[in-house]
Structure 1
Amino acid sequence: MYDKILLPTDGSANSEKAIIHAVNMANDENSEILVLNVVDSVYLSGLPEEELITDTEIVLERESKRVTHRVEKIIEKYEEELDIEPGKIKIETLTMEGNAADVILKISEEKDVDLVVMASSGKHMIDRFLLGSVTEKTVRHSKVPVLVIPNGY
């Protein structure tokens, strides 16, 4: 039913349950997981132009490694509990720059995903009040089902 699952995550503690759900579903459905980490370009806009390209690449690479490591550690932690066969789940990691909700929606279409699994909020809780929720925008505009895992679940 779900051949490709998009897992937008920032690697925060709030996203752990979403990671577990995505891995469990992928294990049951024999699905591929695309882990997506989005670095909001707003935080990079204060850099001088000549440093922006180099610093952006460094930030993206560092964030990609951090999130990939976090996801791998969570999978290892729950491997036995979820009865996951080592190497069964194909996981691809993608780190991109931009507005999180816009990138999630764009990647879900471009990569032809069947389901988006995400936490109700990530590490930037204040964003919900100031900018509007990434999760809410994703749910409202997604062309595929979105499974939202609430914090504290």
Structure 2
Amino acid sequence: MYSKILLASDGSNHALRAAESALKLVTENFTKVTLLYIVDPNRIKKAPANSKYDEIFFRQKREEKLQSTEDLFIKHGVAYEVKMFKGDPEVEIIKFVNHHPHEILIMGSRGLSTLQEMVLGSVSHKVMKMAKCPVMVVK
């Protein structure tokens, strides 16, 4: 169905369900999935201050968080690449999808309550408003 799918993932259960939804949109041998992982340094406890170890630390975090998603793609023979950036997830996702066109962006919802979402907003809601391509949010 799609030849270029962007999957934004944080390794959560919602993100894994989004990966399963992405698999349903894959056309055999014609689809490439870009797995986008954003590390928010403000949310990681005890992140090392030394930049020499910074890259290793964030790569390990990515591997921990995305292992089940990568295993799923490998099991189904889906071609994928991983892109990792540091920063505010909503800003980095929007920046990436708007500068690297994909046919669809798939991401999981955070499952915030209605009140929290009204007050704080959610990453998926903000991305939906700013992305220049269709966005599928999976609960």
Match of 2:71 in 1: 73
Question: Does the CA contact (< 8 Å) of 1:39 and 1:100 recur in 2?
Answer: yes
RMSD: 2.9
Match of 2:58 in 1: 60
Match of 1:143 in 2: 132
Question: Does the CA contact (< 8 Å) of 2:73 and 2:80 recur in 1?
Answer: no
Distance (whole Å) between structure 2 residues aligned to residue 16 and residue 45 of structure 1: 23
1:31–1:144 CA distance, 2 compared to 1 (3 A): same
Match of 1:40 in 2: 40
By how many angstroms is 1:17 displaced? 1.2
Distance (whole Å) between structure 1 residues aligned to residue 47 and residue 73 of structure 2: 36
1:23 aligns with 2:16: no
TM-score (norm 2): 0.80
Show CA shifts across 1:83-120 (max 9, x none): x4x3xx21001111011011111111222211100111
Match of 1:119 in 2: 108
How many positions carry a matched residue from both structures? 137
Match of 1:102 in 2: 91
TM-score (norm 1): 0.74
Show CA shifts across 1:22-51 (max 9, x none): 122123683110001111132369868xx2
* Unaligned runs of at least 5 residues, structure 2: none
Distance (whole Å) between structure 2 residues aligned to residue 3 and residue 133 of structure 1: 28
By how many angstroms is 1:128 displaced? 4.7
SS at match of 1:26: coil
